[in-house]
Amino acid sequence: MEAKVKEFMDKVIAKNLGEDEFIQAVQEVVEKLIPFVEENPKYKSAKILEKMVEPERTIMFRVPWVDDKGEVQINRGYRVEFNSAIGPYKGGLRFHPSVTLSALKFLGFEQVLKNSLTTLPMGGGKGGSDFNPKGKSENEIMRFCQSFMTELSRHIGPNTDVPAGDIGVGGREIGFLFGQYKRLRNEFTGVLTGKGMEWGGSKLRPEATGFGAVYFVVEMLKTKGMDIKGKTVALSGFGNVTWGAALKLEELGAKVITISGPDGYIYDAEGITGEKIEYLLELRASNNDVVEPYAEEFDAKFFPGKRPWEQKVDIAIPCAIQNELNGAEAKVLIANGVQVIAEASNMGTTADVAPMCFEANVMFGPGKAVNAGGVAVSGLEMSQNSMRFNWTAEEVDEKLKRIMTDIHNTCVKFGTEPDGRIDFVKGANIGGFVKVADAMLAQGHV
Ligand code: 2IT
């Protein structure tokens, strides 16, 4: 089997030279899928896996804009339309200096399987720009969003491709993007998700990724007869996902003791609760990309230039960006008795972490399962837009909980090993793959 994986990966590497993140994401998936495909020849003969690693379409474009000083700036915009077998392309837009074609291809590829896991009819895509919102004025952000959408608008639509937010793209940016799309098309449609509550947004979309991640961790713990109440938790990041996770963890009686930013991490022994959680929104809105001010505001400890994984916790949930928790850090967490590592960020851990956890009998939740609550509520936003109706927060929450439980059950179904241990990575990869693969088979060689 190893030889088959190598043969497959050699071709992927040759075709996608230098695209490290994309290659890492594909490797993690095909290690679990090639044995499954070997047992299911219908997928093999139709070369479903070979098709799935090639995006249906990749769009790259120039994004010119003028900054507050009157200087012309040029960024690069992207939309990777990866797979539309089970629904319109769906996935976020990331505005961050680390955005490259490789990063967006990894994210788009993951999104295909993640969206399939949600049980909702959504294909997968991802887009964004290397634009850095840090230090930009609101007017600069607006002009950038308008220029970005001027090109993107030709390629998307409510039945074609429905972007949303991701790192650097929140409610404010979705507003600017939506306004420009509406102006260009003269259409009020559900072309983007994560919209404001007054103009077509879904209740609970801002909270959904964090809430969903915690619901998933609760289900993981249940398989070992454990409760989340009283557990200590390390979160990274300070954005939307971290905020939502902290809210739900507090509600369920767990104690969050860390958050982090590019400048370092905060350790708050008292627990990050109440107004301290709301303060994260202020940090994000400041556009400075730092967490240090939290330490001064709430008398907590700031560790400059470090990541939170050196703290002793029961649960670690990376919530920021890809590869933010590596093997050496996982070793420290495991030595400190961590019980669960769950990726709320996409590919939040390096490739060595999941196998280390499995070996040490620490439960590991992969991003495409753990963080699927965000895109799931985006799917519910699309449904509400199509119906021209709004569900209450309670209705959305109930659906989100059911979806996260379903995803967990899918992981258990496809990931339970003969010795009873659950390989959540395998379960999520096979569970997400089957639906997309069957749809691709049914639709012929397209
Ligand atoms: O990574 C993700 O799933 C997201 N950024 C959310 C995508 C969406 O369409 O809501």
Closest CA to 121 of 440, 436, 437, 438: 436
Residue with tokens 């139709």: 46
Report the pLDDT value the prediction gives residue 72, as an integer from 0 to 100. Answer: 98
Report the pLDDT value the prediction gives residue 446, as an integer from 0 to 100. Answer: 86
pLDDT exceeds 90 at position 347: yes
Report the pLDDT value the prediction gives residue 424, as an integer from 0 to 100. Answer: 98
Give percent helix, percent strand, percent coil of the chain, each to the nearest 5. Answer: 50, 15, 35
The DSSP secondary-structure symbol of 201 reads: P
pLDDT exceeds 90 at position 229: yes
Q: Report yes or no: 301 and 221 within 8 Å, Cβ to Cβ.
A: no
**Could you tell me if the CB of 92 is within 6 A of ligand 1?**
yes
Contacts of 62 (CB under 8 A, 6+ apart): 74, 76, 77, 151
**Could you tell me if the CB of 164 is within 6 A of ligand 1?**
yes
Q: Which band of pLDDT confidence, cut at 50, 70 and 90, is reported for residue 105?
A: very high
Please compute the mean of the pLDDT values over residues 260-285 and round it to a whole number: 97
Report the pLDDT value the prediction gives residue 138, as an integer from 0 to 100. Answer: 96
pLDDT exceeds 90 at position 281: yes
β partners of residue 234: 258, 316
Please compute the mean of the pLDDT values over residues 330-349 and round it to a whole number: 98
Identical fold at 57-188 and 208-370?
yes
Q: Which residue is closest in CA terms to ligand 1's atom 9?
A: 91
Q: SS3 for 440?
A: helix
β partners of residue 65: 73
How close is the Cα of 194 to the center of ligand 1, in Å? Answer: 9
Give me the catalytic one of 90, 105, 114, 126.
Answer: 126
CA distances from 285 to 134, 218, 318, 365 (A): 10, 30, 21, 30
Report, at the CATH architecture level, how domain 57-188 is classified. 3-Layer(aba) Sandwich (3.40)
What are the φ/ψ torsions at residue 384 (nearest 5 degrees)? -65, -40
pLDDT exceeds 90 at position 114: yes
Report the pLDDT value the prediction gives residue 79, as an integer from 0 to 100. Answer: 98
Give residue-wise pLDDT tens across range 70-79. 999 999 999 9
Give residue-wise pLDDT tens across range 133-170. 999 999 999 999 999 999 999 999 999 999 999 999 99
Please compute the mean of the pLDDT values over residues 223-247 and round it to a whole number: 98
CATH level 3 topology of 208-370: Rossmann fold (3.40.50)
Report the pLDDT value the prediction gives residue 438, as an integer from 0 to 100. Answer: 98
Q: What value does the mean pLDDT of the chain take? A: 98
Domain locations in the chain? 2-52, 57-188, 208-370
Q: Which band of pLDDT confidence, cut at 50, 70 and 90, is reported for residue 1?
A: confident
Report the pLDDT value the prediction gives residue 380, as an integer from 0 to 100. Answer: 98
> Which of ligand 1's atoms lies nearest the C-alpha of 377?
10
Report the pLDDT value the prediction gives residue 316, as an integer from 0 to 100. Answer: 99
Report the pLDDT value the prediction gives residue 252, as an integer from 0 to 100. Answer: 98
| 34: exposed, middle or buried (Cβ count in 10 Å: 0-12, 13-18, 19+) | buried
User: Does pTM top 0.95 for this prediction?
Assistant: yes
Give residue-wise pLDDT tens across range 174-186. 999 999 999 999 9
Report the pLDDT value the prediction gives residue 202, as an integer from 0 to 100. Answer: 98
**Could you tell me if the CB of 166 is within 6 A of ligand 1?**
yes
Helix residue spans in 40-130 (DSSP H)? 41-45, 48-52, 101-117
Report the pLDDT value the prediction gives residue 291, as an integer from 0 to 100. Answer: 98
Label the pairing between strands 255-261 and 264-267.
antiparallel
Q: Report yes or no: 203 and 196 within 8 Å, Cβ to Cβ.
A: no
Q: Report yes or no: 291 and 266 within 8 Å, Cβ to Cβ.
A: yes
Please compute the mean of the pLDDT values over residues 44-58 and round it to a whole number: 97
**Could you tell me if the CB of 112 is within 6 A of ligand 1?**
no
CA-to-CA distance for 289 and 356, rounded, in angstroms?
Answer: 31
The DSSP secondary-structure symbol of 79 reads: E
| 127: exposed, middle or buried (Cβ count in 10 Å: 0-12, 13-18, 19+) | buried
Q: Report yes or no: 175 and 202 within 8 Å, Cβ to Cβ.
A: no
